[in-house]
């Protein structure tokens, strides 16, 4: 994401500011949702639902502004911000695919995942879809890896059992953040 911001600074200042605003919003949203999910095991709709609109407008605006400027919207090796040649579709497709994946996981084993996690997955898919499919897959993998490692630690420390519930939202947010900032855009 940092590299993408750097590219946009040189090619499209409006896209740069829109993407920077999206990143700042992500940081605030992630902090709020993490605290709430750890304390109460819930991802409130009053935060998640507006995040679809806010992230969607900022990311789509950045993609459109970059496309109009002719920079940083060119597809990378994994498709970059492009889906079928249209940069904005990558954002929408990322959100839809990640929402559908988490929905299927919820259908298969309802006690293992709350519906708040499914709703949050769509928002994270918007962000990861902006960067490309590799980011969508890496962010999802990292979320399950972080959650699994935490669960193993809880079991090893004898602070929980196999039936203990853990808030998964913080791991989803951490996985998305890791993919957004660790992988090249």
Q: What is the pLDDT of residues 13-35, one digit of tens each?
A: 999 999 999 999 999 999 999 99
Q: Tell me, rounded to whole angstroms, the distance of Cα 28 from its chain centroid.
A: 13
Q: Is the pLDDT score of 91 beyond 90?
A: yes
* Tens of pLDDT, residues 136-181: 999 999 999 999 999 999 999 999 888 888 999 999 999 999 999 9
Query: DSSP code of 74?
Result: S
Question: Which DSSP state fits 158?
Answer: T
How many angstroms separate the CA atoms of 70 and 62, rounded?
A: 12
From CA 28, how far away is CA 105, in angstroms rounded?
27
Cβ–Cβ < 8 Å for 179, 128: yes
Contact 93, 104 (CB under 8 A): no
> What is the Cα–Cα distance from 138 to 122, expressed in whole angstroms?
15
Decide: 1 and 185 in contact? Cβ < 8 Å.
Answer: yes
Residues with Cβ within 8 Å of residue 134, at least 6 apart in sequence: 78, 183
> Each residue of 60-80: pLDDT tens digit?
999 999 888 875 444 444 445
- Please indicate, yes or no, whether the overall pTM of this predicted structure exceeds 0.85: yes
Q: Give pLDDT, residue 107.
A: 97
Contact by Cβ (8 Å): 8, 68: no
């Amino acid at each position: 994401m940092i590299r993408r911001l750097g590219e946009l600074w040189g090619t499209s200042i409006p896209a740069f500011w829109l993407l920077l605003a999206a990143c700042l919003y992500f940081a605030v949203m992630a902090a709020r949702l993490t605290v709430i999910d750890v304390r109460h095991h819930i991802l409130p709709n009053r935060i998640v639902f507006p995040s679809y609109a806010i992230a969607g407008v900022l990311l789509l605006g950045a993609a459109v502004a970059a496309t109009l400027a002719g920079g940083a919207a060119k597809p990378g090796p994994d498709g970059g911000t492009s889906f079928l040649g249209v940069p904005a579709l990558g954002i929408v497709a990322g959100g839809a695919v990640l929402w559908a994946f988490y929905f299927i996981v919820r259908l298969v084993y309802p006690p293992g995942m709350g519906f708040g996690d499914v709703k949050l997955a769509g928002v994270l898919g918007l962000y990861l879809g902006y960067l490309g499919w590799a980011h969508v897959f890496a962010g999802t993998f990292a979320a399950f890896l972080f959650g699994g490692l935490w669960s193993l630690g809880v079991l090893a420390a004898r602070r929980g059992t196999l039936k203990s519930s853990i808030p998964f939202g913080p791991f989803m947010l951490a996985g998305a953040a890791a993919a957004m900032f660790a992988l090249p855009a």
